[in-house]
Each structure stands twice: as C-alpha cells, then as structure tokens.
Structure 1
C-alpha cells in the first residue's frame, strides 16, 4: 500500500482506518457463519471496539495473565475514538493467537525552518514492553530525507544495541520512486529479539541545503508490505503521525520443557507447546492440536482467579465441510478427527462406496483387469524378446554368409572323408567354452588379436583365436586356407579343429598345447637351464621339419614368412 498525502481529501491515517473498517466488517460477516469459540476468561470482555482481545490479553484486572502487565490492553476513549485498545500509548489494531500484535507506531520527525533552526515538533518514539519483540519477518527500519541519518536503539540478548541508516541527496533528480537504497530513503533489517526500543532521526546540516524540497528527517518502523518509497514523502510524511508495525509476543522467558513443570504453565488441554525459533525472543507459545480450534491459552478449572469449566481448544466438527466425504458417503465426526461411512444400502470396497451385493462383480472386474494387464505385459515382453532374438539370428546369418560360410560348407562336403574332425562352431558354443570370453581365460594378446583358453562340451581343451580385424576381399582365400589347414596332420604342427563364422571376424579353434611357447622356455632363466644343447638342436630340427612339411608336403604349399619363437609351443 502506498502512503496517501494528507493534503488531499484523505490522508494515510484516514485511509488506514477505512481499510481496517472494511476488513473488520468482512471478517465479522464471515465469523457470523462460523462457530464462536471462547476467547477470553469468563466474565471478561473479549473485544475492545472492533479488535478481538484473546486471553492471555485482557482489558481489566483479573482478565489478563497476572504474571505480566504487558498483556493489559487499555480500552480507552483516547483521541476521540470510542473504545480504542492501547498498549502503553500505542493503538492496537489486531491481536493474533499465533503470537503477533499489530500496532500503530509513532513516526520520528526532526524538522527545521528555512534558516536551519530546529522546530518544536521533533519526536523520538519509544516502546518498553519486555514481553514483546519487534517482528523481524514483518517489519523494517526506514529513514527518509536528503540530509538524514537515523538510529534504532534497543535491548538485544540483555545488552544495549544500536543500528543506523544514512540517506543523502542534493535534489530530487536522482531519486527513484520505489527504491530505498540511500538516495532520499534508506532501510535496514531489524535484528531478531530486539526489545525496549527507541529511535530518532537526525540531520547533518539542519536541511539548510535541501530545505526547499525536504525540511524534515523521518525515521520509523513499518510493516514491509505497507511501504513503497515516493519522492513526495520528502515533505508529506510530516503529516503522518503513526505507521503500522508488528510485534511478536510469547509467554514468559522459559522453554516449554521448563515451563511445563511449573504451576503457571498456561497451555490448555488439546494443545501443544512450542519454543520460539530463530532466537526471536524468550518464552513459548501454545497451539491447538490438529482437529481442534479455539484459544489454546484457556484451560479447565480456576485460571487467574476465574473459574473456567472448558478448555479453549475444542473439537472441530469437520462434517460442516460437505466436501470432506463426497459421493455416497456420510461424514461422522470424532473427537479431534472424523471418518467417512457409506450411506444406507452401500458398503466400502477399496475405499469406494458401492451398492451391497455388487462386491462379487467389482472383485471379478478387478480380477479380470489385473489378469488382462498381466497377459498384455507378458505378450509385449514375448514380442519384444522375440523380435530381439530374431534380430540376433539375422545378424548371425549375415556374418555367416559374409565370412564365406556357404563356401566352407561346400568345401567340407567335397572333402568329407579327409575332414571328418573339422567343425563349424556356433557363437553360443564358444561363449560357453570361454565363460563369455572371461579375462581369466586369456592365453595371449597381440596386434593380431586375443587367444582364449576354452573347454568344449566334450571337455576338449582348445585355444580360441579372436582376431581384431578381417579382410572381406580375402574371404575365398581364407576358406581355402581353412580347408588346407584342417587337413594338416603333423605331430609338430598345432591342429586346427574348426572355426566360427557367425561373428563379424571369424574365430579359429586350435588344439591346446599345455607347456607354453618356445619363447617362454628360452627367455625364462629357470626354464632355459633345463634346455640342453642336445634338446635345443632337436627342437630346431623338428621346427625345420615342420616348416619343410608345410612348404612342400601339403596339397597347397604354405609358406611361413614370419617365424618367431612366440608362435612355437613345447609339447
């Protein structure tokens, strides 16, 4: 809400009174339809003018909490207004059971005449109510003026405390409406738990250089959502005597744990106690439990000398809300709660009211729905895995044809008698043989690829060579070499058992030799010592014989151009 200048038909204070009156009227209309819970002690007034006065506050002796006079509300006829509630010398506009009090706080004004002489209307507001603290979440401290500084003093954690604010400007050209950043207006946050406050506005040079457009310094505490700065306030705020402000209130200066063991504990039945949070001050507050409403500070028995027969927190009849139990249900109120029951002729099935006798139909429908859903899920899964399996089969067929599988089958059939032991393996057979090519099965690695140790289904131990790359242009030559290699039968040449053509690069399956390579025996110190010159000469002779066999004794000469000790095994 923006401030209204008093030079017009309606000033800020008048506008506030009008808005407050409209709000009160609307609240009264709504409250008339609601259940009225007791707010005050018996035989005590629960209002002053248009303001409700809930206990622990009261307007007369014996009606407010006796441990602190801070809860006394003076219901006077001050300022020509009938029944105006006051705390000290400040008007009260609202008291909340949740722990807040809305008041009208005075404006600190410091004015000068054109020659720089202070005027007599200067004010320095103060508030000394130890049970109340300035709400840090609802208020801010503001200073307005172009030759202004202001201080806010108070008690914080038992010690004196002060904060200040500075506002300067030479003219109105740099002032931005809505901005309170130090040019014509400054504002600061208020520390938590501040009590017993006073504040004042001051001038650096008695407004001598800015008097034509700003003769006064102003300082005030105001609700955050009630103020938006305007350059017009540099002159008009001297007509605003008070501003809306919020105080926090609590009971005593003890925690719930301590207070509950004392005779002056105030929380009534069906309520809970909560300590103040974030250091906003000492004491505790009371709150009605869920399912209850009313004033939690009232309780059974004799309270502050007054007999009281019923707790302030009373059961809420949730069934007054017709939306609580929709459909074919009726609402049944319980103490602190409620439940929904079906109307006559209906009963609950899965939290839904259905006609009696229709349970079997509903269960059957639910059962059929569940079965249908399961069938649908199983069907979708079966189709998905079927399509996936079909894709894998097609990919295997593609690689088999790509790697010359048909040509190899034809050659094998042409050499059936001489190649009875030669086999075309499937990918599943070799995966099983190598435990899905587990790293622990690796016998050796190199630029050509990796060799794995495998165990076939008949417990034959084999060496499976998995090459890195393949040459599609050499497929026919590869198949012809396969046919030749499978026909080799020499005791010093490792036998080729077969191959697998269902992968991108063909896999070769060889006879497994257990004693390692010649390179291991020659270069390993512990093994080389066992190789006498006679054994070394014999190995060389047998290698030469094997090479001679490959070069001249096979149906197709195999010329080995890269003889290495790492490729020769010791049988």
Structure 2
C-alpha cells in the first residue's frame, strides 16, 4: 500500500494512540468503567465481568450514594483507594471488638473479626490498637488457604498488647505507649482474624471508671488517641482505614513466566515476588510508566521533555525506555549536562576572526575575574554575617532565650507583652553604652539612659555577670514584671538576650530614687510632708497590688528606698524585681535562701528562712521611718548600743521622743497629728511578730485615708492594742542584732534548712524557672 506497515501493525498503532489519550490515573481495561465516585479503578480490578482479572478483584460501585461508593465484591468493605503497588485501602463497619463492664462486672463482649480468602492484611502498614484502663487485648489470625477444603489452615497467629491507666491523669493524648492505649505490629500474611479480651481486675481499680475496652486494626498513623475515647461508649461505632495487600494468582514469578497464556505482566513490564506472597506483582520497566497489567499499558517516558538532560547546544533523542544526547555540527563532546557537553571546534584557518576571539576571550576573562572577586567578597561577608548570627544565637540560648520563647509561646506570665529588642537597636539607643549615659549601678547590673528610634526615652539595665545565679534573677524579673500592670510599678518594655550579658528595657523614670530624695542635700527636691505622705501611700498601693490584686500573688523581697523610683511629678514607681517570687494563692509563705538588704530585712525571715507577705510589710515599715526621719536605714545614732534606724525609731517611740527624731522639714505643729499617725503605722509594720503586723492592703487604705483627710486613720483602741503587741515583742528580741554598720546596702544569703512549701517558680536552676 506504500505506507511501509501491515494492517495488523496499523491496528496496533491505533490501539496505542487510544491508550495514550486515556487518563493515566484511571488505567482501566478499555471499554470498562474507570472510576466509581472519587475512586479510580485500575485493572486488574473492575466493576463487571470481563473488566477484572478474577472475581477476587470485582468492585461493586453502589450508585445509591452521592457520590457513588466502591465496595470489594459484594461485601461491606468500602474501598478508599487502589494502588498498583499491590495495596488497597478500605474501611469496614464491623472491624472493632469491644469488652464492656459495669459495676457488677463484664456486661458485653464482642470478638468481631473478618476473613479474606484471597487478600492479606499488610503487616508493615497496619497496627493492632487497643484502648482501655485495665485491658489485655489479643488479635488471633489465620494464614493461607487449605487446598484440601478451600478454607483456612488450623495454624493460627496471635499477638496483643496490654494497657493500664493507674492515675487517669497520666494518660497522654496522642500516645499509645501502654497508658490508656497500646499498639503493636501484626503477624505477616494474615487472611483472617478475630479479637479476644481479658481484664485482670474487671476495670474495678481505675479511679474514674472506664466502661469499655476496644481492639481494632488501623492503618499506621491513621488513628490519633485521645483520653476522651476511654469513656466514649459510642467509640465502637467509629471506622478507621485498613490496608490490604493483593497479588496476582498463587504462583511465583518464575512459575508465572512459564505459563505465558495466563501471565499477567504485559509489554515493557516485568514481575516481582512481593514480600507478602504467594502470588506476584507487575511493574513497568525503567523508562516506562502506566499500568503493567494492560496491553501497551506501560508507555515510554519522554525524558527529553521531563528531565532535559542534554547540554544547551546538545540535541536530545528519546528512545523506547531511554534517551541519548548528541552535539550539532561544528561541536565536539557527548552533549550531556553532566558530561563533557558540547564545545565549538575552532579552525585556525579562520585568521580574520582570531583577533576578535582573543579580545572577546580577554574581556570575558576580565569580567569573569571581577565576578570571581565580587563573589569571594560576597561569600566572605556572608560567612562573617553567618558567624555573627550564630554568635548571637549562642548568646541568646546562654542568656535564657529558649526558656523565654517557651514561656512566650505558652503565654505564661504575660510574656506576650514583653518585646525582644535587637542588640543593634540598643547599642544605637545608648550610644554604644557610653559611660555618660549611666544612670546608676546596683548589685545586679548597670542602668543606662537611652532613646529608641521612635523617640521614647528608656532605661536599659545591663547585668554585671552571666553566671547562673544572676541569670535566674534576670529571667525571673522578666517573668514578674510581665504580669504587672500598675501605675506605681515600673513598666517593662522588653529585653535583649543576644548580647554578652542580658539586657532589660524599662520606661525611663527621670527623678532618681526615693533614697536620693530623702538623703541627698539637694534644695531642688521637694521634701514636704504632703509629698512624703503621698509617696508612702503610692508605694503601699503598689505592694498591696502585688500581694492581693495580681493574678498570682507576688512577694517583692527587697523593698527599700533605693528601689523606689520617682517620675517627673515625683510619683513613686516600685522597681528591681530580681529577687521577687510568685506564689500559689493557697500558700502562706515560701522557704528559700535568705536574700535582702541589711536594715530592711525582716528578723523572722532572717532566722526562719520563711518569707511571708508580712516580710514585705516589715521592709515597707523601714521605708516609712526613712520618710519620717530623713535618716538612712543603717547608720549610727547616738551610742553604739543603738545602731540601726529601726531600733533607734522603736526606742524613741517607747520613750515618747518621736518628735525629737522626725525630720525638721516636716515637724510643723499643723502636721504633728498626721506624723504621729504614720509613725504608729510604721510601728505596727515593724512588729517583730509577723502575725501582729497589718497587711499591705490595710496599710494602703489607712495611708490613703490620711491623705484625703477622711476620718481617723487608725482607731484609738487599735493603736493601743498594737502598742501593747509591739512593746511585748521588743522585750523578746534585740533590735540591734538585725543591723550593722559594716555592710550597708549589701545583700546577704543563708541556706535554709528545709523546704516546707515548695514554690511554683522557686528553683536554683534556670531550667526550673
């Protein structure tokens, strides 16, 4: 006919073109239904006779559902996916066994199971799962058909797992490790199975009664355990996917190739012996893809289009199952990208083009050299930047950054209110931490004045050291301040953890400390009685908020005049929470190392190592005495027997010489009553027996009433009662033993002998904070 091919070859070509135009995803036998609803049905499976390789591969497409659903043969096994790698995903309504109990014992037991005559359950992709609080669950399986009776051999397999709960609070969601839930692998080659349960104690020991145990097969990773499943009486109605392994026939590859009439693997394919045998599977040869069970189902892959393996000037030639590359005329090489490529052949007889080639080559080399230098410079800068980033990350982790992030993501302590500043921004803000920007220096670090890019003036606290003890106080200060929102407590704006020493950023308080106001001889400072009374009321309000109004009660543990800042209107701001601790609401005290400042330290705390809210009350009482007298908490007053402001004040009160020690600036006649009333409050706060001290809430209310001149601050009978208690306490303690002239303004530590009430956040390590 002049076409160079026979009619038979032309028909084969038409069939191949038809197959190429058919959807690769369906790969059904020509003329057969390729899908059912959302499920593709590839051959050897099919929906009617002639469309599947044997009745075991029959699919029933039930159109009564919308969309239609596929079921394996006439069973209730709903097919979810069919893969040509030899697997089938399905769900089955009766695939779960259960064992239920009531208060009298076992009430219901089911050993549901199933039998597959041809297919086997995948032992690598399925897990036997059991849930319960007093459960031993088994899966008993059968393997392989018996040729004599067509049914299953008597030989069986058993495996199982046990699960207990103990305390139900130990049950972890998502974990099937034996507490409330367990999982185990199943034996290889199971065709059928049933469940069996036992309960050593009939569920009677569980603190919260668990009515049922359940056992079921499920695709590995498809079930996520939740503790609510232990008490869900409808859990047995759930369905989970399971994987079946399928093969062709019962022959090995070697046996099947000898029976060419029934051999299932078609052109451009080969067979493999699967692990789950008996039977075999087919797969397309390398360089082909498609359905190996269909004639011409394995089609050649055009690597030239999909992989583009040839060099820019090379030519790709696709061949059945492979490809090759070649170079065009005037070039030499193999044409491969990862080979020698294609190089132009230079002919010396072309003399006119030689100078141009030399110039072009010189320009190209020069440009290449410039690019090389620029690339090396860029690479060097990138390495330097990467090294800098790694250093900052290392410092970030060393300075408690991982703990900070953990608290931030878990929203603990209000850390979402704190901002992370970069080291570069804070260096610019403080002029590289210039000495002229230093505002002050404390026991825990240096404070610098700075200005952020948005114009805000801030105070940047730079820790003196990075040892673990100070780092714990630093992280604790962030935690404490992030919870606090009070007008008389310094506001934390954020922190920086990527520097050699950690940094804290506070709002800037311009007028120094209360200690400077009281003790510095500066005529510009207002020291009137109204100012002092207002400051005392504001500080009392702040401490009362920490004790009574914060979401978690907080003990400051270092109340002193140098930790009280004054803003532009000389309003008080309590600061320095490095030694503070939060406590649970039901705690009355915490036991810890003795931390504090001489002159302000509660004597009860010094001896017992047990810090209570009344310990802060004592320290505040010392601050009130400083406001009244204008004298420092630790210095020499009169004879050596009366060292320390507290003992000096209490002795003066006992001898009715209060007005002799009051600061001359506030000792006016019209203020005498108020001064005496405030002195009585201080006297009550300084009671050696903490039980008889007022709470900070009571102190704050009394001071506020004094400020507003509303009624008597302290009833007369209450003052007399307090006076008796204080006098009684002073007889049993030596005041001079709690102050010293050798260690002014220094912190002391003393290891406690016992931990009576462990603190939620009390720890000696950063990890426990």
Q: Which structure would you say has the larger RCO, counting Cα contacts within 8 Å and 6 or more residues apart?
A: 1
The structure that is strand-richer by fraction is 1
TM score, norm. by length of structure 2: 0.38
Larger radius of gyration: 1
The structure that is helix-richer by fraction is 2
